[in-house]
């Protein structure tokens, strides 16, 4: 029984891995489509758009999930909600991995 | 006979076309363009000003004023609150959102009087205002200072304009943070007067207000007093040359006739280039309950009818026009960027034979804003404006090879075009006519 539970937990972790460990290269490509126009190369931050490079993955995922759900946080929320709504879980994970890797 | 004549004509035309082709290409005199980064590692560089000897003053939005001398040394001159390493620091100067230290211009007699003019956000004159977004807030100023002969310090700061409007708090709008829409480009005109642009600061009543400085182009002397020839409507502040603008960040003067032209950022539709008319109205009126509109979020209709998602720019323009034709004193734009808003933010007329047939045309810096299906469009346009200023003859993209947020353009004393980009660099763009 114990072995079965461990097996189920292991399988769950294995299956859920892709959702939490993003692909940096894929994230870079997705970032280039929309995000860089405002946040600049590598998430450096431009003009009144904040720096997002090097942030914790959990923070980035949480923010993008929040915007995707249509919840406002901060003065540019309407813009971010518009940008985040088409994102999939995988794209969010990829973006977070890419931005986290920018130092 | 008729047939032979026709044949000869055809041969003559064909021959002429054949012979004309190469000479036509030669006479076009299209310049070769190259771009080179001359400063990097800056934080939001915003504007530049040059001495005749090639010293370049630079503002950084949240840091302050510096100079890169013609010999290549860089001196930090006037810092904002919390800036480090500047010869002087002014604790009333701050940055927030789009606001901060922005435009810079040198006195036409700089070599003698050493005077420099800088536009910045300041909390020095808030007084009893600025408690809410819906009241007067004097938070943008124009300063005059004197630069030492060794280019290492500034002194004798005098605030010559103290009452340009500022947005103190967040509001329910896209780009809705404090510090929105300040204008703040400074240029001296051929008349020797200082021209200062201002923005609507996300407050509906500001652009058409006779008294509040915001959404205007000001024409003032070097003490901040109105040019005696300004002709705003009766009862308006005499410092206004024009009013009814949204957020003018680009202004320059056509070399052929000295006429002022602005390049202005539209609200998700219609960036505009406009020939200014003394006392004219830009036609921007984002007040609620006027022009067929009802109530709007936080008393500002500038992003309506739909703040939350993309929609056809033409429908936006119909609901909330940049240049509302109900005003009899409207200055119609010469160009509206094909109905798109992509962040038109600065302008400089091209001077010198090195620009070939582009000489006299206007270079326009576009930062690129890709919301709601609008292509981002980071670029510099070269615009050939009609003599009467009411239309353009052509617009092309300058082949700089750069995709950057072009924030500030300025022609240097060497007739090269200098471009400040939000990515933290300044480029020198040179042209060589063939």
pLDDT of B19 reads 42
Least confident of A31-45, B144-158, B388-402: A31-45
Token pair 């400074």 is found at B186
Angle ∠(A50,A56,A60) on CA atoms, nearest 5: 60
Q: How confident is the model at residue A9 (pLDDT cuts 50, 70, 90)?
A: low
User: How many domains does the structure of chain B reveal?
Assistant: 1
**What token pair was written down for B310?**
């993309």
DSSP string, B194-216: EEEE-B-TT-TTSTT-SSSBSS-
* Greatest C-alpha distance within chain A: 58
Please tell me which of the candidates B371, B372, B423 has its beta carbon nearest to residue A40.
Answer: B423
Binned at pLDDT 50, 70 and 90, residue A20 comes out as low
In a domain, B382, yes or no: yes
Q: For residue B368, give the chain A residue with the closest CA.
A: A37
Q: If we measure between CA atoms, which residue out of A66, A74, A60, A65 comes closest to residue B175? A: A74
Contacts of B176 in chain A (CB under 8 A): 75-76, 78
Q: Which of B171, B310, B369 sits opposite A37 (nearest CB)?
A: B369
Contact call for B423 and A76, based on CB within 8 A: no
Per the DSSP assignment, residues forming a β-bridge with B59 are B47, B65
pLDDT band at B62 (very low <50, low <70, confident <90, very high): very high
- Statement: residue B24 has pLDDT above 90: no
Which chain B residue has its CA at the smallest distance from A77's CA? B174
The model's confidence at residue A38, banded by pLDDT at 50, 70 and 90, is confident
Token look-up 């006779």 returns: B210
Residue B3 within any structural domain of the chain: no
The SS3 of residue B226 is strand
Compare all CA atoms of chain B with the CA of A81 and give the residue at the minimum distance.
B308
Contact A46 B170 (CB under 8 A): no
Residues within 8 A of B (CB atoms), A 10-69 only: 34, 37-38, 40-41, 44, 46-48
The answer to which of A28-42, B74-88, B245-259, B287-301 has the lowest mean pLDDT is: A28-42
Mean pLDDT value of segment B424-430: 97
pLDDT digits 0-9 by tens, B117-162: 999 999 999 999 999 999 999 999 999 999 999 999 999 999 999 9
Rounded to 5 degrees, φ, ψ at A55 are -70, 160
What is the count of residue pairs from A and B with beta carbons less than 8 Å apart?
55
Report the pLDDT value the prediction gives residue B13, as an integer from 0 to 100: 42
In this prediction the pTM is 0.90
Q: Which of B187, B40, B168 is nearest to B99 (CA)?
A: B168
| B399 vs B369 pLDDT, higher one | B399
What confidence score (pLDDT) does residue B22 get? 44
The pLDDT, as a whole number, for residue B81 is: 96
β-strand pairing of B417-421 with B406-411: antiparallel
Answer whether B375 touches A (CB < 8 Å): no
| B21 part of a folded domain | no
The residue to which tokens 């005199």 are assigned = B29
Q: ipTM of the assembly?
A: 0.74
In a 10 Å sphere around its CB, with 0-12 CB exposed, 13-18 middle and 19+ buried, how is residue B294 labelled?
Answer: exposed
The string of pLDDT tens digits covering residues B357-393 is: 999 999 999 998 877 777 888 999 999 999 999 999 9
Q: Are strands B248-253 and B240-242 parallel, antiparallel or unpaired?
A: unpaired
Q: Which of B395, B394, B355 is nearest to B377 (CA)?
A: B395
More confident residue, B27 or A65: A65
**A75/B318: higher pLDDT:** B318
d(CA B242, CA B390): 16
Answer whether residue B18 is part of any domain: no
pLDDT value at residue B29: 78
Looking at residue B370, its pLDDT comes to 73
Residue B377 at interface with chain A, using a CB cutoff of 8 Å:
no
| Structural domain contains residue B2 | no
The pLDDT assigned to B274 comes to: 98
If we measure between CA atoms, which residue out of B365, B197, B178, B373 comes closest to residue B271?
A: B365
Whether the pLDDT of residue B12 is over 70: the answer is no
**SS3 string of chain A?**
CHHHHHHHHHHHHHHHHHHHCCCHHHHHHHHHHCCHHHHCHHHCCECCECCCCCCCHHHHHHHHHHHHCCCCCCCCHHHHHHHHCCCCHHHHHHHHHHHHHCC
Output the six-digit token pair for B293: 């509109």
What pLDDT, on the 0 to 100 scale, is given for residue A61?
97
CATH number for the domain harbouring residue B185: 2.120.10.30
CB atoms A81 and B308 under 8 Å: yes
pLDDT at residue B112, rounded to an integer: 97
Per-residue pLDDT tens over the stretch B90-122: 999 999 999 999 999 999 999 999 999 999 999
Per-residue confidence band for B416, with pLDDT thresholds at 50, 70 and 90: very high
> Beta strand B88-90 with B74-80: parallel, antiparallel or unpaired?
parallel
How far apart are the C-alpha atoms of B173 and B297, rounded to whole Å? 7
How many angstroms separate the CA atoms of B421 and B35, rounded?
A: 13
Residue B22 lies in a domain: no
Catalogue all structural domains in chain A, each as residue range(s) with its CATH number.
22-101 (1.10.760.10)
Closest of A99, A74, A75, A95 to residue A84, by C-alpha: A95
Distance from CA of B422 to the nearest CA of A (A): 6
B173 within some domain:
yes
Residues of chain A with Cβ-Cβ distance to B407 below 8 Å are 47
Mean pLDDT check: name the lowest of B28-32, B72-76, B136-140: B28-32
Separation between Cα atoms, residue B102 and residue B74, nearest integer Å: 19
DSSP state of B85: S
| Mean pLDDT of chain B, nearest integer | 93
> By residue range, what is the domain housing residue B235?
30-432
Is the Cβ of B354 closer than 8 Å to some Cβ of chain A? no
What's the average model confidence in pLDDT over B398-420? 97
Instruction: Determine contact: B176 vs chain A, CB below 8 A.
Output: yes
């Amino acid at each position: 029984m114990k072995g079965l539970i461990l097996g189920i937990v292991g399988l769950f972790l294995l299956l859920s891995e892709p959702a939490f460990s993003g692909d940096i290269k894929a994230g870079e490509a997705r970032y280039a489509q929309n995000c860089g126009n405002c946040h600049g190369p590598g998430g450096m931050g431009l003009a009144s758009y904040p720096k997002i490079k090097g942030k914790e993955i959990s923070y980035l995922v949480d923010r993008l999930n929040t915007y995707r759900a249509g919840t406002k946080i901060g003065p540019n929320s309407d813009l971010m909600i518009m940008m985040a709504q088409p994102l999939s879980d995988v794209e969010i994970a990829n973006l977070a991995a890419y931005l986290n890797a920018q130092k | 006979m008729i047939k032979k004549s026709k044949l000869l004509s055809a041969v003559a035309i064909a021959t002429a076309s054949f012979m004309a082709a190469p000479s036509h290409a030669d006479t076009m005199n299209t310049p070769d363009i190259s771009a080179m980064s001359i400063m990097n590692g800056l934080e939001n560089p915003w504007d530049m000003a040059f001495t005749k000897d090639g010293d370049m003053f630079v503002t950084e939005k949240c840091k302050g004023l510096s100079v890169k001398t013609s010999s290549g040394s860089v001196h930090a001159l006037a810092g904002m609150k919390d800036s480090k390493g500047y010869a002087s620091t002014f604790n009333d100067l701050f940055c927030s959102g789009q606001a901060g230290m922005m435009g810079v211009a040198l006195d036409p007699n700089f070599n003698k009087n050493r005077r420099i003019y800088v536009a910045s956000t300041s909390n020095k004159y808030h007084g009893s205002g600025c408690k809410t977004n819906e009241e007067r807030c004097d938070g943008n100023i124009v300063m005059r200072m004197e630069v030492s002969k060794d280019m290492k310090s500034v002194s004798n700061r005098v605030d010559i304009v103290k009452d340009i409007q500022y947005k103190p708090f967040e509001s329910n709008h896209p780009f809705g943070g404090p510090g929105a829409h300040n204008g703040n480009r400074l240029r001296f005109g051929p008349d020797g007067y200082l021209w200062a642009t201002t923005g609507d600061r996300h407050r509906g009543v500001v652009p058409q207000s006779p008294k509040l400085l915001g959404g205007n182009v000001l024409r003032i002397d070097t003490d901040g007093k109105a040019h005696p020839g300004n002709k705003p409507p009766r009862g308006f502040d005499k410092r206004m040359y024009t009013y009814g603008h949204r957020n003018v960040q680009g202004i320059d003067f056509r070399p052929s006739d000295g006429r002022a032209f602005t390049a202005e950022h539209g609200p998700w539709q219609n960036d505009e280039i406009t020939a200014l008319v003394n006392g004219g109205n830009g036609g921007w009126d984002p007040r609620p309950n006027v022009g067929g509109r009802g109530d709007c979020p936080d008393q500002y209709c500038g992003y309506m009818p739909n703040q939350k998602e993309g929609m056809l720019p033409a429908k936006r323009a119909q609901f909330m026009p940049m240049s509302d034709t109900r005003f009899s004193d409207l200055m119609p734009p010469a160009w509206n960027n094909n109905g798109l808003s992509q962040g038109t933010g600065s302008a400089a007329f091209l001077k010198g034979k090195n620009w070939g047939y582009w000489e006299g045309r206007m270079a326009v810096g576009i930062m690129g804003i890709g919301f709601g299906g609008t292509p981002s469009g980071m670029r510099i346009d070269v615009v050939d404006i009609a003599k009467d200023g009411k239309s353009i003859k052509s617009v092309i993209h300058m082949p700089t090879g750069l995709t950057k947020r072009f924030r500030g353009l300025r022609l240097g004393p060497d007739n090269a075009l200098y471009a400040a980009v939000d990515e933290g660099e300044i480029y020198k763009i040179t042209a060589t006519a063939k």
